[in-house]
Amino acid sequence: MNLEKARAALKKYFGYDSFRPLQAEVIEAIYEKKDVLLLMPTGGGKSVCFQIPAITLEGTCIVISPLISLMKDQVEALRANGIRASFLNSSLSYSEQQQVENDLFNGHLDLLYTSPEKMASQEFLPLLRSSKISLFAIDEAHCISAWGHDFRPEYRQLRFLKKTFPNVPVIALTATADKLTRKDIVVQAELQQPEIFIASFDRPNLSLEVRPGRKKMEQIIEFIEKRPNQPGIVYCLSRKSTETLAEKLRENGINAAAYHAGLDDSTRPKVQEDFINDKTTVICATIAFGMGIDKGNVRWVIHYNLPKNLEGYYQEIGRSGRDGSEADTLLFYSAGDVAMLREFISEGDSQHREIQLAKLDRMHQYATALICRRKILLNYFNETMLENCGNCDVCKNPPKDFDGTIIAQKALSAVSRLQEQVGTGMLVDVLRGSKSYNLLSNGYDKIKTYGAGKDVRQEDWFFYLEQMMNQGLIEIAYDDHSKIKLTNASKSVLFDGQKVQLVQAEVQKARKEEEAAKIPSRTKRTSERQRVRDELFEHLRQLRLDIARKKGVPPYIVFGDATLEEMAAERPTTEADFSLISGVGEQKLREFGRVFLDGIQEFLLAKKDEGMRIAGSTYLETFRLYKQGASVDEIAAQRGISPVTVFSHYAYLYEKGENINIWTFLTKTDAQRVANILQNMEPPYKLQEVFLALNEEVAYEKIRLSIALYNKHKH
């Protein structure tokens, strides 16, 4: 078996032109009958690594997966691509199970998804033995290891696979990175000299951004309003806050729902399902949400509070952009969150306290970082990245240092004169010389530094104070009404001339402005072309939703966002062009090609009616009239173009694979004569040269059609 076959299958069944990193290598190893351990982040494309061998090798690939709830969708997605797949688990009736088992025995399946329990059951083994098995794929393979975060004892029984089927390769797949688990998987599954592939954990399509956690509600609403109809998740710390937030969003006209473990058994799955099916756009959830959800088109994730550690954070933002299209992530950071989490941990059991605190520190460092955030993340997962990523807020607006000694001195001096008795808000008021009642009634307007920081904007002061805190120049006493306290370091600034470097607040401002002007993926693009593209995307999304509802499947099973995006950009008008779109395999071309082509055509014609000039639409209009049965002369008259132009449209459409019957206008003899001439010419062919070479005996429009015919069959 060779890679060419694999590549052809990738195109035919999935509509993809090339393999992603490591996919080809993994497939090759399987073709060589080697055992494989594959570590790849969510969305990296693990499934293709066993699905392509499953399709191309003789026999059935058995996929063992712990999540019964996902099997149905996975199988449905495969079937939508024309792949023979089924699943076998306790959710099927007895007769349904029989049917699937017969299919397996008779070699009618490329893939069979099943649970570890079923695999280990005594009655299933004889069937497995008497069927032709090409490959075993152990999905979520970390479940086999007690070191992993999701140990499932039933997975342990899978060690019988290699014992019973020593000649069938096993591929173990997981998105869990840690080394211990990795080793343990190999041991527990008894993989034989496995090839181990570790993909980068980088997810370049996820943008990273951290903002100060002030006026979060306002910011979230603004963020969502810039991304209409884009599915997203807001992660909150408490059940209560998921509900309040969802409520607030709904009051602002946003289609939002809350999700947490406390919902009753009938509501919870419904909330989840509505999100998967694009019926609910925004979910406000605790971190309980997301496990076992396979939704590719989550376009953004917001963290309302700081997560406990980077593992959790990365996993949660990783639920966006699984389809590979751009997705935005936003984390709100506040020093208060850090203090609260620290308290939680300190109250917890002592055994892991130190580790948890260290992890929280790393999270804190990430949130306040002034270097490329992705570097920090990947570094945390033991990967080094040399270049800056260009897709995080720090890269987009690199911080500018300046000598902040005077600013720091003013602040510290005020803290000192206020006898460390006020919090940040009052401190800033004093520095800016506010006349608030509270301030005046405390007599704070009498201290020497009152109004000394008037020239610095209020929000900039917050930004500087936060930096001072991160540099250890001040401390916040969370146990004493969050009053600001001096430290040893502050004393050296106040009394020993210690210099302070700060990052300019202008950068913060620039970031905000950039966000405001941000050209969100498919909303507020400036150029007309972009606008049309966004509208078309929306049109196609609606079409997809209609089709999905009619078929009773999640929309992504019809087409992924990336595929719709490409359609909106390329605006294919013919089946041939349509099949070039990534994600359009043969089955989907047959099943949905016409509907989407019509959708695109309809949209473009409507735009044209609005007076917009759209490339390609002139052909479409000719084609529309042609399909209505109009003659060349009628089309020419109606459209105000010459009959020759109509013929050239026909030629174009025909060459692109549209159903134009050129033989109405052309004889085989003429076509052959033209072909003979073309054989000795170099493209692009000049009509006049051909015309002259044929002694002016064949009319121009016939030559035009013959060239189309010639081109089409040459390819």
Q: Which residues bind ligand ADP (CB under 6 A)?
A: 16, 19-20, 23, 40, 42-48, 296, 322-324, 560, 582
Q: How far is the CB of 323 from ligand ADP (least distance, A)?
A: 5
Q: How far is the CB of 510 from Zn ion (least distance, A)?
A: 16
Q: How far apart are CA 278 and CA 261, in angstroms?
A: 21
When CB distances are held under 5 to 8 angstroms depending on the partner's kind, the choice from Zn ion, ligand ADP, none that residue 47 binds is ligand ADP
Single out the segment in contact with Zn ion by CB under 5 A; choices: 356-364, 390-398, 424-432, 436-444: 390-398
**Residue placing its CB nearer to ligand ADP in the complex, 16 or 444:** 16
500 burial class (0-12, 13-18, 19+ CB within 10 angstroms)? buried
Q: How far apart are CA 594 and CA 560, in angstroms?
A: 17
Residue among 207, 60, 214, 186 at smallest CA distance from 132: 60
**Residue placing its CB nearer to ligand ADP in the complex, 585 or 599:** 585
Count CB atoms within 10 A of the CB of residue 687: 14
392 binds Zn ion (CB under 5 A): yes
- For the record, the structure tokens of 679 come out as 């054989």
- For the record, the structure tokens of 521 come out as 């993926």
- Residues near Zn ion (CB under 5 A), total: 6
Q: How far apart are CA 128 and CA 325, in angstroms?
A: 39
Q: How far is the CB of 667 from ligand ADP (least distance, A)?
A: 45
**Residue placing its CB nearer to Zn ion in the complex, 388 or 498:** 388
Residues 6+ apart with CB under 8 A from 667: none
Contact 68, 115 (CB under 8 A): yes
495 burial class (0-12, 13-18, 19+ CB within 10 angstroms)? exposed
Residue with tokens 């393979």: 141
Contact 620, 573 (CB under 8 A): yes
Contact 156, 144 (CB under 8 A): yes
Q: How far is the CB of 173 from ligand ADP (least distance, A)?
A: 7
**Residue placing its CB nearer to Zn ion in the complex, 184 or 209:** 209
**Residue placing its CB nearer to Zn ion in the complex, 77 or 210:** 210
First to last CA, the chain: 27
When CB distances are held under 5 to 8 angstroms depending on the partner's kind, the choice from Zn ion, ligand ADP, none that residue 37 binds is none
DSSP H or E run through 296: none
When CB distances are held under 5 to 8 angstroms depending on the partner's kind, the choice from Zn ion, ligand ADP, none that residue 453 binds is none
**Residue placing its CB nearer to ligand ADP in the complex, 131 or 582:** 582
When CB distances are held under 5 to 8 angstroms depending on the partner's kind, the choice from Zn ion, ligand ADP, none that residue 369 binds is none
- Binder of Zn ion out of 161, 378, 389, 428 (CB under 5 A): 389
Q: How far apart are CA 484 and CA 335, in angstroms?
A: 12
Sign of the torsion angle spanned by Cα atoms 484, 489, 495, 498: negative
- The alpha-helical segments, DSSP class H, found in 277-401 are 310-317, 335-347, 353-367, 373-380, 393-396
Q: How far is the CB of 14 from ligand ADP (least distance, A)?
A: 6
Q: How far is the CB of 287 from ligand ADP (least distance, A)?
A: 19
**Residue placing its CB nearer to ligand ADP in the complex, 23 or 60:** 23
Q: How far apart are CA 585 and CA 670, in angstroms?
A: 36
Q: How far is the CB of 47 from ligand ADP (least distance, A)?
A: 3
Contact 545, 280 (CB under 8 A): no
When CB distances are held under 5 to 8 angstroms depending on the partner's kind, the choice from ligand ADP, Zn ion, none that residue 392 binds is Zn ion
Contacting Zn ion within 324-383 (CB under 5 A) = 372, 374
When CB distances are held under 5 to 8 angstroms depending on the partner's kind, the choice from ligand ADP, Zn ion, none that residue 40 binds is ligand ADP
Residues 6+ apart with CB under 8 A from 302: 220, 223, 232, 233, 234, 235, 329, 330, 331, 332
**Residue placing its CB nearer to ligand ADP in the complex, 567 or 698:** 567
**Residue placing its CB nearer to Zn ion in the complex, 393 or 534:** 393
Q: How far apart are CA 429 and CA 461, in angstroms?
A: 10
When CB distances are held under 5 to 8 angstroms depending on the partner's kind, the choice from ligand ADP, Zn ion, none that residue 296 binds is ligand ADP
When CB distances are held under 5 to 8 angstroms depending on the partner's kind, the choice from ligand ADP, Zn ion, none that residue 395 binds is Zn ion
When CB distances are held under 5 to 8 angstroms depending on the partner's kind, the choice from Zn ion, ligand ADP, none that residue 19 binds is ligand ADP
Q: How far is the CB of 322 from ligand ADP (least distance, A)?
A: 6
**Residue placing its CB nearer to Zn ion in the complex, 55 or 395:** 395
Judged by the rule CB under 5 A, the positions of this chain that interact with Zn ion are: 372, 374, 388-389, 392, 395
